[in-house]
Amino acid sequence: MHIRLLAVGDRQPSWVEEAFGIYTARFPREWKFRLDAITTVRRSKNDKSQHAMATEGEQILARLSTTEQVVLLDERGKELTSRILAARLTDWQADSRDLCFIIGGPDGVSDAIRRRADFTWSLSQLTLPHGMARVLLAEQLYRAWSLQTGHPYHRA
């Protein structure tokens, strides 16, 4: 199974790149993890963001395979504990399809993306900066893997 993150936003602060890289470097090789970044559509002062969300949504859909499992990261999704995420990850791996996590743009994602998602996951009820969401996703995937394999990283 391959895992990737498809995220709107191509420029992140150096601390995001560093922290994200620390966790993704620890991922098992068989995941063949990769990050695919989509450039954020420029928003004008009077833009209500619907056009930008729709354009970003079209770009996301164009990069998705019809066979991929899609997990949308969204504040309106279901919150998971680390142990439940580890169990879900086991289920996703047993399904044998590639797995794609999506982080939308600054205004969220289009309805088309919501419909395409197989699961919608909330990292927190808090609104997180996109870079923080990337880091948190990477850390939680590493933690889920550590729970699956009995690695001592997860001590709780």
Residue 156's pLDDT is: 58
Task: Please give the C-alpha separations between residue 48 and each of 44, 111, 112, 118, in angstroms, as whole numbers.
Answer: 9, 15, 18, 27
Q: Convert the pLDDT of each residue in 43-101 to its tens digit.
A: 877 766 788 889 999 999 999 999 999 999 999 999 999 999 999 999 999 998 999 99
Contact 108, 119 (CB under 8 A): no
Q: Convert the pLDDT of each residue in 20-41 to its tens digit.
A: 999 999 999 999 999 999 999 8
Residue 43's pLDDT is: 81
Q: All domains of the chain, ordered by start, with CATH?
A: 3-41+49-149 (3.40.1280.10)
Residue 63's pLDDT is: 96
